[in-house]
Amino acid sequence: MSASSLTLTVLAFSAPMAVVTGFIPFTILFGGEGATFAFVLVTILLLVFSVGYIAMTKHLPKPGAFYSFITAGLGKGAGLGSAYLAIVSYIAVLVGSYAFLGLCVSGLVTTLNGPDIPWWAWAIAGWAIVSTLGYFHIEVSAKILSIAMVGEVILVMIFNVFVLAKGGAEGLSATPFTPGALMGGDVPVTMLFCILVFMGFEATALFRDEVRTPNKTIPRATYGAVLFVGVLYIISAYALTSAYGSKAQEVATNAPAAMFPDAIGAFVAPVFTELAFIFVITSLVAALISIHNVVARYVYNLAYDRALPVYLSKIHVRHHSPHRASTAVGVAAGLVILFLILAGTDSAKVYGQLSGLGSVGIIFLMGAVSLSVIVWFRTKAKLSGENAFKVIIAPLVSLLAFAFTVVFALLHFELIVGGAPGENIGLALILATTFLAGIALTLYFRFVKPHLYAGLGHSDHSPAGKAATQNADQLEPTHALDGSSLPNQ
């Protein structure tokens, strides 16, 4: 992939159209007109996080992302625990998004006087499409994501341009860009929702073996994704606030789901209301493709390191895709969807709980990566080529921010997963148990299977890394994502 293809692949994870329609109204609900400034702050924060993250990708040329980086900085136990936590978190977001897709499609068909088809039928249809695409070369998904992303971004920008050109409901004001506007709302909650909508850009390093000139492509894609989606959300939050003027927070409180569709219908043309709902669906499909590919690469890298069945590390000879890992992710997601169907779970509840749960896990991992950058550069690498801002100051700022976010999210878990205060806090045990299971398995490997323990966090697909693994195991050869041979078992 090129830098642009990789950027679009991870941007699709964020589902910009779904965010503008579903999440930005909640930031306005809690932050009022200061929601715009909150997006400015979060964009800066994630750019700061990216500084240390990119520094790590340059010195650790491995495609394991969170898994490889946390292993290098905090040890094999924390690394494997983080890898399993990443898989569970992303799968939770994946299944939750399938439920939301089913809910949206079912609602759209009903409003168009179509048959009342249950959400799970549309969710299964989406699952079949996404799981099939994951089997093929990443460029197949990238092309589809590019088309979907361009369409939804154009629609959002049409809305932004029309609102700003017409001066909104009461004229344009610079107040939403000031700290004072944000201080008038619930700052922690507003910041929490803003951070949640940026998920996905952190997965760029996972595709290291599938991009051209990774040392250039990954930094460009990472910074590009944060800047692009950050600027889009800042402008969109400002435009949506301006579209309702002084009544924006009231509308966000009473009818958040209708806030964007009604506004685009009023400021552009009524037909755009229906188009908005359609593009939310295409945005979700694009997000599902992106999330599925991210999870598949985590599974592949863990299988490569023998932390999952090595059968899953097989690469398709013609498509050069981790087809077995992708199929395993599809099966796992399908089984969870089947369980939810049999349990008769409400789709809205599924989406809120699973997506919220997975997002908290991902934010925790971003904080752990920030800590790993500091530890690795200070104690294990001591590379004089990187300045203090990149490897100490920037990661420390992001570490403190993400640590506060995780603690606040757990203390106010009902804002993330729904329910009454304290009602669903038990869901957080899923994340804790997954992380601890990874640590326990690491200890098992260390004392019972030291040859497997030695390879944890390795995920090195370079010629030297493959040769080292080949010499250690003398296994049957298979293929890496770049098409070259690597050991199998």
Could you give the CA distance from residue 192 to residue 389 in angstroms, rounded to a whole number?
25
Options 1.20.1740.10, 1.10.540.10, 1.10.287.540, 3.40.1190.20; CATH of 3-456: 1.20.1740.10
User: Domain ranges in the chain?
Assistant: 3-456
**At CB < 8 A and 24+ separation, what contacts does 461-464 make?**
461/62, 461/63, 461/209, 461/304, 461/486, 462/61
- In the prediction, which pLDDT does 166 show? 94
Arithmetic mean of pLDDT, 267-290:
89
The three state secondary structure string of the chain is CCHHHHHHHHHHHHCHHHHHHHHHHHHHHHHHHHHHHHHHHHHHHHHHHHHHHHHHHHHCCCCCCHHHHHHHHHCHHHHHHHHHHHHHHHHHHHHHHHHHHHHHHHHHHHHCCCCCCCHHHHHHHHHHHHHHHCCCCHHHHHHHHHHHHHHHHHHHHHHHHHHHHHCCCCCCCCHHHCHHHHHCCCHHHHHHHHHHCCCCHHHHHHHHHHCCCHHHHHHHHHHHHHHHHHHHHHHHHHHHHHHHHHHHHHHHHHCHHHHHHHHHHHHCCCHHHHHHHHHHHHHHHHHHHHHHHHHHHHHHHHHHCCCCCHHHHCCCCCCCCCHHHHHHHHHHHHHHHHHHHHCCCCHHHHHHHHHHHHHHHHHHHHHHHHHHHHHHHHHHHCCCCCCHHHHHHHHHHHHHHHHHHHHHHHHCCHHHHCCCCCCCHHHHHHHHHHHHHHHHHHHHHHHHCHHHHHHCCCCCCCHHHHHHHHHHHCCCEEECCCCCEEECC
pLDDT per residue as tens digits for the range 368-427: 999 999 999 887 655 557 788 888 999 999 999 999 999 988 888 888 887 788 778 888
Nearest to 378 by CA among 396, 366, 392, 368: 392
Residues near 390 by Cβ (< 8 Å), separated by ≥ 6?
51, 52, 55
Average pLDDT across the chain, whole number = 85
Instruction: Assess whether pLDDT exceeds 90 at residue 314.
Output: no
- In the prediction, which pLDDT does 465 show? 45
pLDDT per residue as tens digits for the range 418-462: 778 877 888 889 999 999 999 999 999 999 999 888 888 765 544
Of 52-66, 193-207, 219-233, 309-323, highest mean pLDDT = 219-233
Of 113-117, 128-132, 145-149, 318-322, highest mean pLDDT = 128-132
- In the prediction, which pLDDT does 380 show? 65
More confident residue, 247 or 352: 247
Q: How confident is the model at residue 138 (pLDDT cuts 50, 70, 90)?
A: confident
Could you give the CA distance from residue 484 to residue 50 in angstroms, rounded to a whole number?
30
Q: Rounded to two decimals, what is the model's pTM? A: 0.86
